[in-house]
Amino acid sequence: MFQTAPIEAASQSELTSQMAARLHTALTTHLQQAYAPDQRKNLRLFSATETADLLGVTGQFLRKCHSEGLLPEPEVIKNGRRFYSGKEILQARHFLEASSRKPGKYLPGRREGDKLQVIQLMNFKGGSAKSTSAIHLCHYLALSGYRVLAIDLDPQGSLTGFCGIQTELEFEGASIYDALRYDDAVPMSEAVVETYFPGLHLAPARLVLSEFETETAVNAGRGVAFFEKLSLAIQSVESDYDVVVIDSPPALGFLTLTGLYAATSVIVPMTPSMLDLASTQQFVEMTSAYLGVIEDTGVKLDHDFFSFLITRDDPSDIPSQQIVSLMRALFQDRVVGATGLRSTAIGDASMLKMSIYEVARSEMTRSTYDRAKNSMDAVGAEIAGMLQQAWGR
């Protein structure tokens, strides 16, 4: 039961302390109920129709593969219908890729000579759906057969929560801060954990990550190149991944800048409103100034793409569509063609720290679900195409 009695405190610090305690109790109770009995998230099963769609094959082809023994039977078969786990879908990709005449058809990730793709999502305007966009991109790419590393650079840990690690509850092990700190940093491999989502690993964030800002300010006077910290950490594990997705804090501080230096590509999520447009203008202007400072040290930054992503798009809202049209007129192909729609399905999933890919279609109004998922699929497919283009394909 949550406390409902009025809070009485002798001082402001005591008042805020009691508020924090009540919130912690409420969050802990909610999370324990959401992830009971072991407080761990699990990925749902996918129907044969969904699995065929994910693999890019027909249901008939999938059935044929099973009948000919090319694919092992899934563990769960109900009433003669096959249901696949995320791990089984990933295994199917490996089986099919091995016999495919077209390299990369089922495993579209890096090939020999391809550089690791590092995508940073950044904007200092809160409410831009940055973390929501990041987790949907991670899940889309992982389900498509890419080996994905998510790096949470936001001390609030939103992406970490989406990946099944609750910063509100204590968790053991190293975080991204431990790989970035100036004293006694651990190898990046020790800061990376597997998630419940096959194909997706995570370098989680804790609140202590905010200390990186203070430590960098102190060490900057000693000539330490802070902006190389994340890049060097990623280099030590790059052979294990095709794509890295970085979720930055909503601020243009040292954490965002070290991510910007490590990134091969940048995506700026923004909602289509005049307020957000003005904020994004200021953000890009400040980014330009900071990039100039880094480049003045002799470092050459060259991003494969620097693009805007329209989020929470409502096609029926005329003023917002005017902003969308303005952005496309100003930046043309630097605005991702697909948009993340404003959707109750995505909002409801986010409330449970889930992406639309983790929700079964039967759990929502089908038209609402389809509209939301098609939107996220379109965004993911376009960004995946940009990755393939960066690899020269």
Determine the Cα–Cα distance for residues 220 and 39; give it in Å rounded to an integer: 41
Looking at residue 217, what is its pLDDT? 87
**What's the pTM?**
0.89
Q: Is the pLDDT of residue 133 over 90?
A: yes
Average pLDDT score, the chain: 89
Residue 352: the pLDDT is 86
Query: Which residues are bridge partners to 117 per DSSP?
Result: 243
Structure tokens at 211: 């200390």
pLDDT at 221 over 80: no
Structural domain spans, the chain: 46-99, 117-391
Q: Which of 343 and 128 is assigned the larger pLDDT? A: 343
Q: pLDDT confidence of 32, banded at 50, 70, 90? A: low
Q: How confident is the model at residue 4 (pLDDT cuts 50, 70, 90)?
A: low
117-391: what fold? Answer: Rossmann fold (3.40.50)
Please give the pLDDT value at position 1: 46
Of the listed ranges 94-98, 198-202, 350-354, the least confidently predicted one is: 350-354
Q: pLDDT grade, residue 288 (50/70/90)?
A: confident
List the CATH code of the domain at 46-99. 1.10.1660.10
